[in-house]
Amino acid sequence: MLAEPDTAAAVTQIREGMDQMDREYRMNLAVIRQAADLTQVELAQRMGINQAAVSSLERRDDLLLSTLANYLAAAGASIGRVVVTIGGNEVEYPLPHRRPSAGLGGKTSRAGGDDPAVAQ
Residue-range domain boundaries for the chain: 5-94
pLDDT digits (tens, 9 = 90+) for 72-113: 999 998 878 888 899 999 999 888 766 555 444 333 333 444
Section 49-59 average pLDDT: 94
Taking the C-alpha atoms of residue 34 and residue 69, their distance in angstroms, rounded to an integer, is 17
Q: What is the crossing angle of helices 40-47 and 51-59, to 10°?
A: 100
CATH class of the region 5-94: mainly alpha
**pTM listed for this prediction:** 0.59
Measure the CA angle with vertex 97, ends 28 and 92; round to 5°. 65
